[in-house]
Amino acid sequence: MKKIFLILILFFHFSNTSVFSKNNLYEKIDLFGEVLENIQKDYVDDVDQSDMMDSAINGVLQSLDPYSAYMSPELFKEMQTDTRGEFGGLGIEIGMEAGVVKVISPIDDTPAAKAGIKAGDYIVKIGNEQVQGKSLLEAVKLMRGPVGTSIELTVRRKKVKKPLEFKIERKIIEVQSVSSKIIGEEKNLGYIRLKSFNENSDKQFLKSVKEFEKKSKIKGYVFDLRNNPGGLLTQAINITDFFLEDGEIVSTKGRKVSETRKFFARKGDEIKGKPIVVLINNGSASASEIFAGALKDHKRAIILGENSYGKGSVQSIIPLRNGGGMRLTISKYYLPSGKSISEVGVTPDIFIEEEGDDFTINTDKDNQLNYAIKLFNS
């Protein structure tokens, strides 16, 4: 019990004492201790106190926002996955919404995307495990496993009455973040699909742009950020900077002075003012929203598609003395207009919802891309 009270004191150490008096604070600690004692004494099953305290710690963090979470030493070790473009799993970016695991976006050409998982799906079951009540990182752990093994996901999808089941084989996911081609009836539009913002995306993106610019026929560009879950802030800034002559790209605001910063464009538009259409959907998040939002605010591009996800915050991974770690939101993104992306996202200038059961990004069934092409001919 001493360990429990010590942890509780640490929990409440960060409370605002102007709101909670010391008496109220101690009352809450006493109440929590009483709840734990009753669980230990009367709950129908035996309870591991250590596991219960891990859940309590995680509960405190998840009460802050969907992205803050606690990682046990075992989980922290497993989660040492970086953004260098290669990781094991199914190929989906997930988040939490009202205690439920939600698909932010499936990554192109990965097992999840090929199986039919869509942005906005709610994962309710992983294998035989109910997801309700689990943390985001616990859900990620359940989905990971040896390469070549399969797992079943049960999802709920908007406008679909029955739950959908998908059997997906785990693979090593290698994210090639940029692909490009010439599109349009007259073959005069540059199309660049950006799947993520990893450490080499800006170089790949700029290479594609420069190759297009060598072709004198190119009269405009379509940048496709649909189902792009984001990535590195520096990459979002670098790629946005390619198309702005000046002005603010994004700002971050946090409690610490070091987390409150503004980022500005440097002179030089790589495509010399040619028109741009940016495609977004509910799976466009984080760095994607910075890119689309900044170009929209500067009236440098037409944003087309569906409202973006609304992931406008920065998380820091903080190691803990027990070998575990915590993911903590330390700042939020703000667009040049001063608007926050968090929970709001970027609203397209032209709202076009994906249509048809056979809708597939970057094919002749892609009504959003087809509409974007028509804009250049109108």
C-beta of residue 299 within 8 angstroms of C-beta of residue 276: no
Tell me the CATH architecture of domain 178-377: Alpha-Beta Complex (3.90)
Does pLDDT of 82 surpass 60? no
Report pLDDT for 288: 96
Delimit the domains of the chain by residue range.
2-76, 86-174, 178-377
| pLDDT, tens digit, 9 for 90 and up, residues 163-194 | 999 999 998 887 788 999 999 988 999 999 99
Question: Mean of the pLDDT values across residues 208-228?
Answer: 93
Q: Is the per-residue pLDDT at 85 higher than 70? A: no
pLDDT at residue 147, as a whole number? 85
Q: Averaging pLDDT over each range in 21-25, 85-89, 95-99, 296-300, which range is the top one?
A: 296-300
Helix axes 233-241, 287-297, angle to 10 degrees: 30
pLDDT in tens, 133-166: 787 878 888 888 888 889 999 999 988 999 999 9
Three-class DSSP category at 199: coil
Reply yes or no on whether the pLDDT at 103 is more than 80: yes
More confident: 6 or 309 = 309
DSSP string of 168-186, one letter each residue: EE-EEEE---EEEEEETTT
Just list the catalytic residues.
286, 297, 311
Q: Are 142 and 79 in contact (CB under 8 A)?
A: no
pLDDT of residue 294: 97
Q: 20 vs 10, 16, 144, 270, CA distance in Å?
A: 15, 6, 42, 55
In this structure, the number of other CB atoms found within 10 A of the CB of residue 28 comes to: 15
pLDDT of residue 80: 61
- Check residue 262 and give its pLDDT: 96
**C-alpha closest to that of 4 among 47, 44, 63, 68:** 47
Q: pLDDT: is 252 or 356 the higher one? A: 252
Tell me if residue 237 falls in helix, strand or coil: helix
Give the Cα separation of 176 and 199 in Å (integer): 11
Look at residues 40, 71, 60 and name the one whose alpha carbon lies nearest to residue 317. 71
CA atoms within 13 Å, Cβ hemisphere of 263? 22
- What's the half-sphere exposure (Cβ side, CA atoms, 13 Å) at 307? 10
Please, are residues 247 and 295 in contact by the beta-carbon 8 Å criterion? no
Please say if the pLDDT value at position 5 is more than 60. no
| Phi, psi (rounded to 5 degrees) for 24 | -60, -40
Copy the structure tokens of residue 332.
């939020």
Q: What is the mean pLDDT of the chain?
A: 87
Q: Is the pLDDT of residue 3 over 50?
A: no
pLDDT computed for residue 339 by the predictor = 93
Q: How many CB atoms lie within 10 A of CB 267?
A: 8
Closest CA to 60 of 52, 68, 71: 68
pTM comes to 0.79
The CATH number of 86-174 is which of 3.40.930.10, 3.40.50.620, 2.30.42.10, 3.30.420.40?
Answer: 2.30.42.10
Mean pLDDT of 92-97: 84
d(Cα 238, Cα 194) in Å, to the nearest integer?
13
Angle between the N-to-C axes of helices 49-62 and 22-42, in degrees from 0 to 180, rounded to the nearest 10: 140
What's the pLDDT score for residue 308? 96
Instruction: Give the H or E element holding residue 254.
Output: strand 248-254
